Amino acid sequence: MWQNMIDYFQELEKHPAQRMVFLVGGMLLLWLLEGAIPFLSLQYKKTKWRHASVNLTFTVVHLVIHTAFALVIVLLSDMSKANGLGLVYWLHASKLWTIVISFFVLDFFGGWLVHWVQHKIYPLWKFHVVHHSDNNVDVTTGLRHHPIESVLRGVFFLAAIAITGAPMYAVMIYQTVLVLSTQFTHANIHLPRWLDASLSYLFVSPAMHKVHHHWQQPYTDSNYGAVFSVWDRLLGTYKKLDAAQIRYGLDAYYANEQDENLGMLLKKPFQEMRP
């Protein structure tokens, strides 16, 4: 069983259509659930489709950039294997432990740390603001990243692969889970309180991540995790907020009425944005 899974993910990078099934399939399922069990009652400026078109434009650009990064990822992963470089080779880890080690390190660097850095360094925060500017957080918000932010996330991801020496099967397992987790945590779905709370002890849950999208600090500067919630709990960046108090958008930088203005969202980070 393990070997079959490893063989599948080892070759997944060569099958973009299959990778797209995870992305589109997860998004469609959660899109339907948003109508059945909404987390909040969202007030779209025009329609849900119009809102989605803006976010999916950013998603397409993000995927193009990370397809280019994939070429470097394959080279780096193969070089690590050929030279025995990285934690998984230094520790002579089994395939199972290779997946576990790679997953945790990739999630720390490519999930929590890059996110925390963007909130702490003003020039990087200007690009990340595009993600936070969405006034109606739903499943399409997950990959709403400015192209410059997409590049930064790719750089941190490469650093994690260099540290771990993660083989391609481990990289693809993590990336697949990351995409599904990102959709799940941004989706406008309401889970039973006990289920959401239970999930949040190890994984980022929908209610936990919605706190991160609250329009005011210090809540905006919390709950940075992508897949695992343990980083926020261990590093003191975990916060809770009742769903009834959550309001999306920004309290500074530019008007919330512009959150679907694609041209403005692309160019604004290059301009002065101090509150």
Residue 270 or 16, more confident: 270
The pLDDT score that the predictor gives to residue 5 is 67
The pLDDT score that the predictor gives to residue 2 is 61
Global pTM value = 0.92
Burial per residue of 18-35, b for 16 or more beta-carbon CB atoms within 10 angstroms, e otherwise: ebeebbeebbeebbebbe
Fill in the amino acid letter for 28: L
State the CB neighbour count (10 A cutoff) for residue 168: 21
Q: What is the mean pLDDT of residues 76-87?
A: 95
Confidence of residue 14 (pLDDT cuts 50, 70, 90): low
- The whole-angstrom separation of Cα 225 and Cα 209 is 8
Find, among 45, 22, 26, the residue nearest to 257 by Cα. Answer: 45
Find, among 107, 131, 104, the residue nearest to 118 by Cα. Answer: 131
Domain ranges of the chain: 46-270
Confidence of residue 254 (pLDDT cuts 50, 70, 90): confident
3-state secondary structure of 268: helix
Task: Decide if 179 contacts 22 (C-beta within 8 A).
Answer: yes
The pLDDT score that the predictor gives to residue 229 is 97
CA distances from 141 to 30, 64, 66 (A): 12, 17, 17
Six-digit token string for 149: 């932010």
Share of the chain above pLDDT 90, in %: 75
Q: Is the dihedral of CA 240, 242, 247, 252 positive or negative?
A: negative
Fill in the amino acid letter for 245: Q
CA 273 to chain centre: 24
Q: What is the mean pLDDT of residues 73-97?
A: 94
- The whole-angstrom separation of Cα 154 and Cα 114 is 10
3-state secondary structure of 225: coil
The pLDDT score that the predictor gives to residue 244 is 84
Least confident of 21-25, 60-64, 124-128, 176-180: 21-25
3-class DSSP string for 175-221 = HHHHHHHHHHHHCCCCCCHHHHHHHCCCECCHHHHHHHCECCCCCCC
Share of the chain above pLDDT 70, in %: 92
What are the pLDDT digits (tens) for 188-200?
Answer: 999 999 999 999 9
The pLDDT score that the predictor gives to residue 70 is 86
DSSP string computed for 70-110: HHHHHHHHHHHHHHT-SHHHHTT--HHHHHHHHHHHHHIII
Confidence of residue 147 (pLDDT cuts 50, 70, 90): very high
Fill in the amino acid letter for 125: W
Q: What is the mean pLDDT of residues 242-266?
A: 89
State the CB neighbour count (10 A cutoff) for residue 139: 25
Six-digit token string for 100: 């576990």
The pLDDT score that the predictor gives to residue 23 is 73
The pLDDT score that the predictor gives to residue 243 is 85
Phi, psi (rounded to 5 degrees) for 239: -140, 155
